Amino acid sequence: DAKTTQPPSMDCAEGRAANLPCNHSTISGNEYVYWYRQIHSQGPQYIIHGLKNNETNEMASLIITEDRKSSTLILPHATLRDTAVYYCIVRRGQNFVFGPGTRLSVLP
């Protein structure tokens, strides 16, 4: 499975943009990148996904580098409720492999 690497933790000031990086240097040409988050011990919540073009929805933006070896999830105006663990996943077929993710703390 394509492996992803994320920093274990990050802080962000409330109201500022949170930029969460992810490395996926072994990604194949047809594999999508997905982002989820998990608040406390709730079920993972889907945020966004993409293949090679940048994507935006009501929750976040996803920037994928041209070589597709890394991506960045952007929360444009972080709030306290965005404090969570964020997972970057490369999907291979029907398999989604979750690493330990990045623990984002949004500070007042």
Partner 1 sequence: NAGVTQTPKFRVLKTGQSMTLLCAQDMNHEYMYWYRQDPGMGLRLIHYSVGEGTTAKGEVPDGYNVSRLKKQNFLLGLESAAPSQTSVYFCASLAGQGNQPQHFGDGTRLSIL
The piece of 20-28, 53-61, 68-76, 88-96 that touches partner 1 (CB under 8 A) is: 88-96
Location of structure tokens 């040409």:
29
Q: Where are the beta strands (DSSP E) in 1-108?
A: 9-13, 18-23, 33-38, 45-50, 55-56, 61-64, 70-75, 84-92, 95-96, 102-107
Task: Give the closest residue to 103 by CA, choosing from 84, 88, 89.
Answer: 84
Residue 34 lies near partner 1 (rule: CB under 8 A): yes
User: What is the SS3 assignment for 80?
Assistant: helix
> Binder to partner 1 among 62, 78, 101, 104 (CB under 8 A)?
101
Q: What minimum distance in Å lies between the beta carbon of 15 and partner 1? A: 28
Q: How many residues sit in the footprint of partner 1 (CB under 8 A)?
A: 21
Q: What minimum distance in Å lies between the beta carbon of 13 and partner 1? A: 25
Residue 43: partners with Cβ closer than 8 Å, 6 or more residues away: none
Residue 97 lies near partner 1 (rule: CB under 8 A): yes
Site residues, partner 1 (CB under 8 A): 32, 34, 36, 41-46, 49, 51, 87, 91, 94-101
